[in-house]
Structure 1
Amino acid sequence: MDYRPDAADPRFLLEQVLDAPARLRALAPFAEVDDGLMGQVLEEAARFVGEVIAPLNAVGDAVGARFDAGKVTMPPGFAAAYRAFWQAGWPALACAPEDGGQGLPWVLEGVLYEWLTGANHGWTMAPGLLHGAYECLKHHGSAELKARYLAKIASGEWLATMCLTEPQAGSDLGLVRTQAAPQADGSHRLSGTKIFISGGEHDLTDNIVHLVLAREPGAPPGPKGLSLFVTAKFLDDGARNAIHCERIEEKMGLHGSPTCVLRFDGASAWRVGEPGRGLAAMFVMMNAARLHVALQGVGLLEAAWQKARAYAGERLQMRAPGSGRTAGEADPIIRHPAMQRVLDTERAWIDGLRVLAYHTGMELDVARHHADPARRQAAQQWCSLVTPVLKSLCTEQGFAGASRLLQVFGGHGYVREWGIEQHVRDARITLIYEGTNEIQAIDLLARKVLPDGGAALVALLEQLAQEVDGAAADGPETTDRLHDAARLTRELVAAAGRQAALPYEAADDFLRATGLALLGWAWHRIARAPGAQDARWAVPHQALRLRVLPEYGMRAQILRNQCRAAAGARVD
């Protein structure tokens, strides 16, 4: 019943479906990356995650992080596993060689963190923000700050946090009150309280680096008055900084990850980037961070699926329809259509979401490294539009799918012995952090689609429709769905001009409909790949067409009803 990463499926999707080695070799930093190298990295990552990280999942949940007098002790085995992790070079996978990194494509890091989350979500929260902190300092930090922190963060020798939320300031960061008082030596002193800080205090590393949003004296109210600062648990001379952990939260899940309340009492800190540009400095890491969270949803869903598949293969109950067994004999429940339906449907979600996430991960690198500015811009456009869709779609399915897979266990799934209930508890937070899924939907529709009249998203959907092979089995329906999603976007843009509240009411359904259209495209790519006719891929593809994609029609109808209502028409 233990989670075991398997490199075979991700390799098939990367090599056969997405042609990743050739696409990545076209980028100068990855000219030496081929399928052999990618396969070797993935195989070794699967071994490490399965042997070192996965066995600690149960103890992390049962024992949890412990708080005592301002100090946090992590669950047994966590510190040793983290030491092995950073000393083996895993945090540095996608960091630049000049910073001590390995300079490999982001998508390999993405697969690694998908597996880490499936193996042990609580443990994975500790290194989860390392690459984001690295990117932020690399792009916005001064030479002095880079020299002080960058190599330690790139290697993972020091862990990092992101300190945004305050008791009165969640999604509305314009309400942040933490103050940053400038000092004569160019530093600042931070004063204020931050909440929900993952890994704000622990015993995994010798130091913890914090990126903190705060206001300087005289800064205007709202988001434009926020600046970004870097500080650390220990200063250069070894002295303890004025940062105090007041408590850790008692949570529904993620017991192995301390969620801290941090109090800054005049802590020494240094500004990152320009005054009043704190959110801009933070947003350099947002696409990658949100894609990481999307892959957390996929990883947790895969872990739940593995447990349910193993249990269903062993649990004997009744005769399956058409099995030919005599009265009193029993079949493994995997032969029963009700259980096959659940397993095949969630498999379809996992495979399709992986294609979308891996493709987006490669587009992140294209946006950074491609020689053609137009291609870089197109990649950035893809990431901007698709990342909020993925963050929402993957995490919702990670939670809902894990809950459905728990059903395979019956009453056994509700008790702790089998571990499936932990995945349901752990997955729930992914719908909330890194921007709630409601925020993702508003970001997509109100901030990215409406400002240009839907032109960018319509162009993307029409381009995907043109790529579809109309002669393939599901080609016509995939093309029709993408064209309809483009039409729906235009209709919603027009209706939004008549009712200001409409985009905010329709945002969730619009994101879901867009995501389902993209999921159909992803599976069309899978179905065209060599070997995809095997039952391994054909069975979940059929489940997708029968039980997943029909939801698109329902969401489209809801949105068109809202558009008609906004125009004053009756909706029956």
Structure 2
Amino acid sequence: MQNYVPPVDDYRFLMTQVLGFDGAMAEMGLEVDSDLAATVLEEAGRLCAERLHPLNRTGDEEGSRLIDGVVTLPRGFADAYREFQEAGWASLSSDPEHGGQGLPFILQLWLDEMLSATNLSFGLIPGLTRGACEAIKAHASEELKAVYLPPMVRGEWTGAMALTESGAGTDLALLKTKAEPSGENGYAVTGTKIFISSGDHDIGGNIVHLVLARLPDAPAGVKGISLFLVPKFLPDASGGFTVRNAMSVGALEKKMGIHAQPTCVMNYDGATGWLVGEPHKGLAAMFTMMNAERLMVGIQGLGIAGGAYQQAAAYARDRLQGRSADGSRGPVAIIEHADVRRMLLGVRAFVEAGRALAGWTALQLDRAHRHPDGAERARADALVALLTPVVKAGFTDFGFESAVQAQQVFGGHGYIREWGMEQYVRDARIAQIYEGTNGVQAMDLVGRKLPLGGGAVAQGFFDMIAADLEGQATPVAAGTCEALQLLRDATAALHGADADRLGAAAVDYLRLFALVSMGWMWARMAAAAKDGTSAHSGKRAVADFFARRMLPQAKGLAAALSAGAEPIMALPADAF
């Protein structure tokens, strides 16, 4: 396989030429500039390329194992995690109050991209821990924060999220796990959860589970769900965490992909836990973690697409097949064939626009947490809420499609394990499913996010794009303006729509939203790529490809949206 090349030059271009990174940092009072940020990303990329990427295929082939109740990660994973943690990468963007480094979230999200590109199974471990920390920080008591946050922030302990049960997936109102009051303000948690990523492993340290369960007096439905912190190890008499809690791994899920990731069936047999937040308000507390995870999952789709692109482009430059278009030479490298270029450009056009949009969104999250002006914090927070389902679902849909296209470049070799491309396809698929399926994300966008502020948040975002594009004469700017108008029209048509109309429109609407957002980023990048370097001319060429070959999808999506719900709902359920 081709060695992974961290896209640090592209990160630097985005920070200095497109996203206004230095100005944003000064605005928020952070002593971080683009040079320091690029250095951090370069070091992170080196770890991903040299330490994690070589473990990706071996980890996939070996997989995690459960023997006599003990979960073991593939060879090399535990050692690599300790190196990752000891070097401080687990605490990169976390709050210094609890031992974090407090660096801007944009660096965290781009680190997540490189982790996903090189070893998705590994990257889930620190990613889930970071999300658990967010929920504990926002909702737990001061006592719980003091005990659990510092070692989790440092990465010495890890975290897991335990929502799903066999009969309660998206519909969490159906969950049956119980929590009974026990001694010293604790609870005894009993039930079985499935699909629990990083539920157990041999990295060392405690594993802190955030578990949704019902108290004895819980009302029915989601209004009766509470959140509990349930650690693998409880404190002993001397204050160390050595006492095994009453929780165990019933099985490791046998999965299509991410084989190295220990996805567990977890049994809680009266396990000791503590309430996080208020009774019966657990879903709101858990969504603090889930929203953070949804951005991370979107970046997983982006990272896999970028990693797959690098492999496919290298193969296309080396693989000799067929003759030149005029028939005068042969065999030629397949990069000369138009169809191969079409596939590679489609992947690259998504990856580079997605990377820019991820960076822009991460800067809004930084503003939401750090900006000195309260109104600006609220505005940025609303924009992050609007874009979270777009990043999660849009990036993972495009990411899976990109992995398939990159595999296709290899022809039959792409279907054979030794080239590594089939693993990208298998690993990418889960990102469209977990942390809320992409259909659920699309329903969240049209049902909950478009109405934010009476529709003002979405309209403000559209106005921002329009103002940015004004006066630009590039094909991508013109195409994005046209697609933006289609998006505005579709948004207006959905105002006040019934549930069937919203459900029928949701997925197509989200894709249209994603295309416009990426077109906006390509317009920004094309405007910034003004000099005569090969890198800048490459940006302009890919922007033109996006404008002429990908943005036209907007017209087809708009036509499908205008058909309404009738073509979908007309067939009776018993006719399927």
Q: Common fold, TM-score beyond 0.5?
A: yes
- Tell me, yes or no, if structure 1 residue 508 matches structure 2 residue 500: no
Partner residue, 2:485? 483
Partner residue, 1:549? 551
Q: For the structure 1 residues 532 and 200, does the alpha-carbon distance in structure 2 shift closer, same or farther, using more than 3 Å as the test?
A: farther
Q: Is this contact kept in 2: 1:320–1:336, CA < 8 A? A: yes
* Letter of the 1:561 counterpart: A
* Letter of the 2:409 counterpart: V
Q: Distance in 1 between matches of 2:547 and 2:499?
A: 35
Q: For the structure 1 residues 453 and 565, does the alpha-carbon distance in structure 2 shift closer, same or farther, using more than 3 Å as the test?
A: farther
Q: Distance in 2 between matches of 1:240 and 1:564?
A: 56
Q: Distance in 2 between matches of 1:473 and 1:129?
A: 41
Q: Distance in 1 between matches of 2:32 and 2:342?
A: 39
Q: For the structure 1 residues 552 and 97, does the alpha-carbon distance in structure 2 shift closer, same or farther, using more than 3 Å as the test?
A: same
- Tell me, yes or no, if structure 1 residue 381 matches structure 2 residue 382: yes
- Tell me, yes or no, if structure 1 residue 319 matches structure 2 residue 323: yes
Partner residue, 2:467? 466
Shift of 1:375: 1.1
Partner residue, 1:305? 309
**5 Å matches for 1:147-162?**
147-162=146-161
Partner residue, 1:114? 113
Shift of 1:546: 1.8
Shift of 1:476: 3.4
Partner residue, 2:13? 12
Q: Distance in 2 between matches of 1:138 and 1:126?
A: 19
Q: For the structure 1 residues 177 and 242, does the alpha-carbon distance in structure 2 shift closer, same or farther, using more than 3 Å as the test?
A: same
- Tell me, yes or no, if structure 1 residue 271 matches structure 2 residue 272: no
Shift of 1:547: 1.4
Q: For the structure 1 residues 500 and 136, does the alpha-carbon distance in structure 2 shift closer, same or farther, using more than 3 Å as the test?
A: closer
Q: Is this contact kept in 1: 2:479–2:551, CA < 8 A? A: no
Partner residue, 2:367? 366
Q: Is this contact kept in 2: 1:462–1:486, CA < 8 A? A: no
Shift of 1:21: 2.1
Shift of 1:563: 7.4
SS in 1 for 2:127: coil
* Letter of the 2:19 counterpart: L
Q: Distance in 2 between matches of 1:393 and 1:340?
A: 23
**5 Å matches for 1:256-267?**
256-267=260-271
Shift of 1:264: 0.4
Unaligned runs of 5+ in 2: 237-241, 571-576
Partner residue, 1:538? 540
Q: Is this contact kept in 2: 1:300–1:423, CA < 8 A? A: yes
Shift of 1:565: 8.1
SS in 1 for 2:126: coil
Shift of 1:25: 2.4
Q: For the structure 1 residues 425 and 565, does the alpha-carbon distance in structure 2 shift closer, same or farther, using more than 3 Å as the test?
A: closer
SS in 2 for 1:285: helix
Q: Distance in 2 between matches of 1:418 and 1:384?
A: 39
**5 Å matches for 1:388-467?**
388-450=389-451, 454-467=455-468
Q: For the structure 1 residues 563 and 232, does the alpha-carbon distance in structure 2 shift closer, same or farther, using more than 3 Å as the test?
A: closer
Shift of 1:480: 3.0
Q: For the structure 1 residues 565 and 48, does the alpha-carbon distance in structure 2 shift closer, same or farther, using more than 3 Å as the test?
A: closer
Q: Is this contact kept in 2: 1:129–1:160, CA < 8 A? A: yes
Partner residue, 2:71? 72
1:66-124 Cα deviation digits (max 9, x unpaired): 11121111100001000000000001000111211111001101111110111011121
Q: For the structure 1 residues 87 and 323, does the alpha-carbon distance in structure 2 shift closer, same or farther, using more than 3 Å as the test?
A: farther
Q: Is this contact kept in 2: 1:453–1:490, CA < 8 A? A: no
Shift of 1:3: 2.5
Q: For the structure 1 residues 527 and 351, does the alpha-carbon distance in structure 2 shift closer, same or farther, using more than 3 Å as the test?
A: same
Q: Is this contact kept in 2: 1:454–1:489, CA < 8 A? A: no
How many residues align structurally?
A: 559
**5 Å matches for 1:137-216?**
137-216=136-215
SS in 1 for 2:545: helix
Q: Is this contact kept in 2: 1:161–1:200, CA < 8 A? A: yes
TM-score (structure 2 length as normaliser) = 0.94
Q: Is this contact kept in 1: 2:344–2:405, CA < 8 A? A: no
SS in 1 for 2:306: helix
Q: Distance in 2 between matches of 1:441 and 1:208?
A: 32
Q: Percent identity?
A: 45
Say what the alpha-carbon RMSD is for the aligned residues. 1.7
Shift of 1:532: 7.0
Q: Distance in 2 between matches of 1:40 and 1:500?
A: 49
Q: Distance in 1 between matches of 2:273 and 2:294?
A: 26
1:407-436 Cα deviation digits (max 9, x unpaired): 111100000010011000000000000110
Q: For the structure 1 residues 532 and 147, does the alpha-carbon distance in structure 2 shift closer, same or farther, using more than 3 Å as the test?
A: farther
Larger CA deviation: 477-486 vs 7-16: 477-486
**5 Å matches for 1:9-158?**
9-28=10-29, 30=30, 32-158=31-157
* Letter of the 1:26 counterpart: E
2:288 to 284, 287, 290: 284
Q: Distance in 1 between matches of 2:424 and 2:79?
A: 24
* Letter of the 1:378 counterpart: R
- Tell me, yes or no, if structure 1 residue 224 matches structure 2 residue 226: no
Partner residue, 2:335? 334
SS in 2 for 1:128: helix
Shift of 1:455: 3.6
Q: For the structure 1 residues 403 and 182, does the alpha-carbon distance in structure 2 shift closer, same or farther, using more than 3 Å as the test?
A: same
* Letter of the 1:396 counterpart: D
Shift of 1:470: 2.2
1:522-558 Cα deviation digits (max 9, x unpaired): 1111111144763321221121112110000100111
Partner residue, 2:574? none
1:380-416 Cα deviation digits (max 9, x unpaired): 1111111101111110111111101111111000000
SS in 2 for 1:91: helix
TM-score (structure 1 length as normaliser) = 0.95
Q: For the structure 1 residues 471 and 206, does the alpha-carbon distance in structure 2 shift closer, same or farther, using more than 3 Å as the test?
A: closer
* Letter of the 1:310 counterpart: A
